[in-house]
Structure formats: structure tokens, C-alpha cells
């Protein structure tokens, strides 16, 4: 018998289940590189349902309880008196979504001697202290690809929203009941002809490049693994050897690198100061890649023309977080990867991982971040274990 603790975001304020806008979602069987979508033995939900909140339970309760396991679901995750902290000491498995991260710090992992598996329902396991997971033999696995395209679409939407000044223009006709054309267009440009750069051309970054190409922009990127020459040629990509070189040569910068020691607080005043005046940043990777105050100051001074994304730190951010109110922002809560379409895939992915682990079978290599006391699978390619014993995303900052 295993105890599984799932930390999920709170239910909708109007109650659960919500009234769904559509009756079904498309069936996606495989991803752009040929990897198959999650294939658990069965699922106990209808794809298209809201699964990522507490009442949605990722559709896991019937399956786990039918096998005699215990499932605890809570959204109460922060501080020493939280339900998460109370349930952790005898937990075998923790499931969390990056949207509502259950920060598995080194201290918390030390308090959970039975913990063997941390599942990220989604992508991005920086909320787990990976060094502590390595040290304590905890396997970390995520549902690779499950929401990559969801995030790429959100990124392109936010690029267009910023460059075309969409949100203020919408507000002029709705909240403000106006017809203020001059006010709306005073900051509106076409994307066509600009240079758009992507930091990290992994699953999401490459999908963003492919979606931006038809807008007839000049495309550029950097990544610690350079893409194959045929892909660079097909997309017409300019490669830059490092992030600073890319940042100073683009008009629009999209961030898709994981939060690792090299990217933690990378965008400070100095780096942003080297960018072209009036650049836009869209960051759907992780909030802690930015120095919060430096972004605010750059928006205020006009060095940045706009900032958007859906990632913050901590999550949830306080009511007075300056990105909520700074001008020219297109921020959303961390929702890009939690569309109903994505939830069906990552809930099935979480079940597939659990089915394998409970049966003592190997977890798919592409789902692994840490296994056997080292970075493994996707983790070995995309993550860096920090040498100083701290993992930036798991600090709860």
C-alpha cells in the first residue's frame, strides 16, 4: 500500500464542475518528434474535464483506491502548518503541478523518509530540489511534451498581444466604453519584419519558432545544444552562442529554458540594459529567471516596451507583486500549460507513471528527470544539478 499526496490548485470560485464551453477535445496520439502521448491502461475521466484542481483529483482516485492505495489531495501547500507539510512525513509519492507548485525543498525531502517518487503533472520540475532528490534516491518524473504545444500557443498569443497593444485597445472599448483609436495605436506595431529570438529551442522553444515563422519575422535562437543544420535551414534560424548575444540582437525575446543555476535571476538590470530599446520579453518558462525589480524598472524607463508571460515567483504571488500593476504587461496566472486539452494529457501521463512505478516496471526514459541517484532521461539533457547543494526553484522564493 502506498500513500500518494497530490497538491493541486483550488477549485473554481463558482464551484465544481464548471460549465464546459465545448463538448470534446481533439485526440492527440503523438507529438511532433514521434513520441506517443501517454498510454495508461485506462483513465477514469472524460478528456476535456477540469482535472488539475482539488475536486478533479487528476482523475486518479478510483484507480488508486481500487488497488488499496491512499490518495490525499490538498491545495494547502505553503508554510509549516500546511496540510502538505503534515501529510509529507509518511508519503511515498508526491504529485504536484508547476502552476501551483508544492515546493519540495531539501528540508522537506529530509522530513519525508519514505518518499520515493515526485511526479510533476506537467513539465518543469524545478520546484523539486533536484540535488536533494539525487541524494535521497527520490525519482523525479514529468509528463514530457504533455503541454509543450499549449505553452507555445500561449507564447505566440502574448507576443502578438504586446506588439499590437491588444490588451489596452480591448480595454478602451470594453471597460472604458471608448472609441479611442489614437490612444490604442500609439503603441501598436506589426510583428512582420521584427527579429524574434528564443532562449532554448527544446520542445516548447522549437514549437514557438515554427509558429512564429509564418509571420515573416527574422528568427534567432540560442541553446546549449545547437539544433541540426537542416532544422536551422528549414526555419531560417540565426544561432547565437549564448543568451547575452541573443538578447542584444532581437526585438522580441521568448524565454523557454528551464530554471537551473545558470538561468536563475539571469535577466538583471545589466543584461536587460544591453537589449534594444523597446524590446519585448515573453517569459513562459519560470519567473525566477527574471530579476523582478529590474523588469519593472526597464518597463518604467522604456528600455522594455512590454513584458508578458505566465510565470512568477513565488507562486501564487502576493497581491502587491509589482508585475500585477506595472504598465505594458500582459501577464496571466500560470495557465499556459493547464488548458483542458493539456490536462487530459498530463493527467494520463501521471497515471502512466504511477502504473509503471506501482507495478515495479521502468518509467519511460523521456519522462525521467532524476532516477537512480542522478539526472536521467530528459533531465540529463535539459537540467543542471547545482554544485552548491541548492536548487533555485525549490527555494520557494
Residues that bind ligand NAD (CB under 6 A): 122-124, 147-148, 151, 200-205, 222-225, 256-260, 262-263, 284-286, 310-311, 334, 336-337, 378, 382
Edge-to-edge strands of the sheet including 329-331?
A: 237-239, 218-222, 195-199, 252-255, 279-283, 304-309, 329-331
Cell digits for 337? Answer: 500549460
> How far apart are the C-alpha atoms of 371 and 110, rounded to whole Å?
17
For residue 317, the minimal CB distance to ligand NAD (Å) is 14
Give the active site residue among 256, 286, 345, 351: 286
The single residue of 206, 283, 303, 315 carrying the catalytic annotation is 315
Residue 283 is among the residues annotated as catalytic for this protein: no
Binding site residue list for substrate:
123, 147
Q: Least distance (Å) from ligand NAD to the CB of residue 342? A: 8
Q: Judge contact between 128 and 111, C-beta under 8 A.
A: no
CB of 26 to ligand NAD, least distance (A): 19
Angle between helices 148-163 and 203-212 (to 10 degrees): 40
Of the pair 105, 222, the CB lying nearest ligand NAD is at 222
Cβ-proximal residue to ligand NAD, closest one: 202
Smaller CB distance to ligand NAD: residue 4 or 151?
151
Between 109 and 331, CB nearer to ligand NAD: 331
Here the cell at position 394 is 525549490
> Where is the binding site for NAD(+), in residues?
148, 203-204, 223, 284, 310, 382
The Cα–Cα gap between 106 and 124 comes to 17
Active-site option among 69, 154, 334, 345 = 334
Active-site annotation holds for 276: no
**Residue 329: active-site member:** no
C-alpha cell at 109: 525531502
Q: Cβ atoms within 10 A of the Cβ of 102, count? A: 27
Q: Which residues are annotated as a binding site?
A: 123, 147-148, 203-204, 223, 284, 310, 382
4, β-bridge pairs: 71, 93
Rounded to a whole number of angstroms, the minimum distance from the CB of residue 155 to ligand NAD is 9
* Catalytic residue list contains 114: no
Grid cell locating 192 = 512582420
Minimum Å gap between C-beta 146 and ligand NAD is 8
Q: Which is nearer to ligand NAD, 2 or 336 (CB)?
A: 336
> Exposure of 23 by Cβ count < 10 A (0-12 exposed, 13-18 middle, 19+ buried)?
exposed
Q: Which residues contact 196 (CB under 8 A, 6 or more apart)?
A: 159, 212, 217, 218, 219, 220, 250, 251, 252, 253, 254
Residue closer to ligand NAD (CB basis): 112 or 198:
198
Catalytic residue set? 147, 286, 315, 334
Amino acid at each position: 500500500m502506498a500513500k500518494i499526496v497530490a497538491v493541486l490548485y483550488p477549485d473554481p470560485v463558482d464551484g465544481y464542475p464548471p460549465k464546459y464551453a465545448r463538448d470534446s477535445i481533439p485526440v492527440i496520439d503523438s507529438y511532433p518528434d514521434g513520441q506517443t502521448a501517454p498510454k495508461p491502461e485506462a483513465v477514469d475521466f472524460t478528456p476535456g474535464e477540469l482535472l488539475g484542481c482539488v475536486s478533479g483529483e487528476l482523475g486518479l482516485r478510483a484507480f488508486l483506491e481500487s488497488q488499496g492505495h491512499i490518495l490525499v489531495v490538498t491545495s494547502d501547500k505553503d508554510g509549516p502548518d500546511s496540510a502538505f507539510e503534515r501529510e509529507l512525513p509518511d508519503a511515498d509519492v508526491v504529485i504536484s503541478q508547476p502552476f501551483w507548485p508544492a515546493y519540495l525543498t531539501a528540508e522537506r525531502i529530509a522530513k519525508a523518509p519514505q518518499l520515493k517518487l515526485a511526479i510533476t503533472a506537467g513539465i518543469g520540475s524545478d520546484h523539486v530540489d533536484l540535488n536533494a532528490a539525487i541524494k535521497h534516491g527520490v525519482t523525479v518524473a514529468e509528463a514530457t511534451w504533455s503541454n509543450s504545444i499549449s505553452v507555445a500557443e500561449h507564447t505566440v498569443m502574448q507576443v502578438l498581444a504586446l506588439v499590437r497593444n491588444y490588451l489596452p485597445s480591448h480595454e478602451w472599448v470594453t471597460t472604458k466604453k471608448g472609441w479611442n483609436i489614437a490612444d490604442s495605436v500609439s503603441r501598436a506595431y506589426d510583428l512582420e519584419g521584427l527579429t524574434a529570438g528564443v532562449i532554448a529551442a527544446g520542445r516548447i522553444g522549437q514549437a514557438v519558432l515554427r509558429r512564429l515563422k509564418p509571420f515573416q519575422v527574422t528568427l534567432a535562437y540560442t541553446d546549449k545544444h545547437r539544433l541540426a543544420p537542416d532544422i536551422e535551414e528549414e526555419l531560417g534560424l540565426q544561432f547565437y552562442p549564448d543568451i547575452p548575444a541573443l538578447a542584444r540582437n532581437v526585438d522580441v525575446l521568448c524565454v523557454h529554458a528551464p530554471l537551473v543555476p545558470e538561468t536563475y535571476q539571469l535577466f538583471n538590470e545589466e543584461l536587460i540594459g544591453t537589449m534594444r530599446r523597446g524590446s519585448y520579453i515573453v517569459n513562459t518558462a519560470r519567473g525566477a529567471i527574471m530579476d523582478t525589480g529590474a523588469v519593472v524598472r526597464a518597463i518604467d524607463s522604456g528600455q522594455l516596451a512590454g513584458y508578458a508571460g505566465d510565470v512568477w515567483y513565488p507562486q501564487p504571488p502576493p497581491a502587491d507583486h509589482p508585475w500585477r500593476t506595472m504598465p505594458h504587461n500582459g501577464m496571466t496566472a500560470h495557465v499556459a500549460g493547464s488548458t483542458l486539452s493539456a490536462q487530459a494529457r498530463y493527467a494520463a501521463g501521471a497515471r502512466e507513471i504511477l502504473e509503471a512505478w506501482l507495478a515495479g516496471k521502468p518509467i519511460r526514459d523521456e519522462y525521467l528527470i532524476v532516477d537512480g541517484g542522478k539526472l536521467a532521461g530528459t533531465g540529463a539533457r535539459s537540467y543542471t544539478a547545482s554544485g552548491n547543494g541548492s536548487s533555485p526553484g525549490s527555494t520557494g522564493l
